[in-house]
Amino acid sequence: MSEGHTTLEDYLGQWNEAGGRADVAATVLAMASAAARLAREIAIGPLAGEIGAVVGSGDAGGGDQQKRLDVEANTAFRDGLLSAPVAVFGSEEQDEVEILDATQPLAVAIDPLDGSSNIETNVSIGTIFAIFPVPVSGTGGIESALMQPGREQLAAGFFIYGPQTALVLTVKAGTHVFTLDPRDGTFRLTNSNVHVPQSKREYAINASNYRFWPKPIRDYIDDLVAGSEGPRGQDFNMRWVASMVAEAFRIMVRGGVYIYPRDSRKGYENGRLRLVYEANPMALVFEQAGGAATDGVTRIMDIQPASLHQRVPLVFGSADKVSRIARYHTEISTRDQKSPLFSERGLFRV
């Protein structure tokens, strides 16, 4: 077994003793147990049957195609949280929030299986979650537990099922990485107080949608693609896995930025990713690691949710890159009013 690596249970125990919350610790541990079981099934792959087969009506609560493993992941986490101090369960795979036990203090929002379009291709997929407090009676209570801005999260993270199964977690005391030891099913701390590298030259975006993007995003990408001959004066590498957890883990390790903007296609006018159970937890994880997350301009965790499945544009990663993209949005009108030398391509842009 692994030696010298603090277990997730021990880490959370120490955090709780230092002023954390036992209910949050118990909830994280319940999800870790469910994730370990799910990881074993994912590792078996097609030997477990057609886990990538489309099931039911083909539409999840969040409006995406639903596959067998989506449903199984949702069941695994829901059932795992029945024994945790969780009152409210809100999932991408369910149309409405579900009350598990109205007497409990926490609410969990979850994307049980991010990147499920990659199930058959053996690409890393994952689970994203956010833990909120249930508001006290008189301020919205249990009905609005998941309709709080992301800054109210008590903890957040994501599991990634790849060459190693890992948990990237924050309980608002830094961001830490725990790796699953398949020999005993225990998550162990392998990278503490992660800090997202700055000034790295990588970005993740689906370039096939270029013609649909708003102008500030096209301008930003144009400047990156121009490379050393363009206004940025250096070459950049593009990455796109179509699995947000895979992109996020790479950026957490190597730096860079993830961009999923709104665009002009039907259904994408407000972005594609969900605020409550995708953008908010990613934002907290990255801010706690010295990064940032916005909708292009506004801090993600300051946005007031209106519905469980609300969509939002999402930019996260190294703080310097996230802030630069915001400038492309806020300064666009000024640039366009200038002479051609100083306009669209931003030749002298900072």
- Strands 257-260 and 202-204, bridge-based pairing: parallel
Candidates 249, 239, 218, 255; CA nearest to 346 is 218
Query: In terms of C-beta density within 10 A (0-12 exposed, 13-18 middle, 19 or more buried), how is residue 66 classed?
Result: buried
Active-site hit among 23, 38, 106, 114: 114
- 58 with 66: CB under 8 angstroms? yes
For 277, which DSSP code? I
Active-site hit among 70, 219, 287, 295: 70
Q: 149 to each of 100, 187, 233, 252, 277, how far by Cα in Å?
A: 22, 29, 38, 23, 12
Active-site hit among 12, 23, 38, 64: 64
Joined together, the tokens standing for residue 35 give 């994730």
Active-site hit among 12, 69, 100, 113: 113
Active-site hit among 23, 72, 93, 247: 93
Q: Is 70 a catalytic residue?
A: yes
Q: Is 93 a catalytic residue?
A: yes
For 12, which DSSP code? H
Q: Is 235 a catalytic residue?
A: no
Candidates 347, 282, 343, 285; CA nearest to 315 is 282
Active-site hit among 23, 72, 111, 247: 111
- 38 with 28: CB under 8 angstroms? no
For 148, which DSSP code? S
Active-site hit among 23, 278, 287, 295: 278
Backbone angles phi, psi at 323, to 5 degrees: -70, -35
Q: Which residues of 223-239 are buried (b: 16+ CB within 10 A; e: fewer)?
A: bbeeeeebebeeebeee
Residue type, 68: R
Residue type, 42: I
- Residues known to be catalytic: 64, 70, 92-93, 111, 113-114, 278
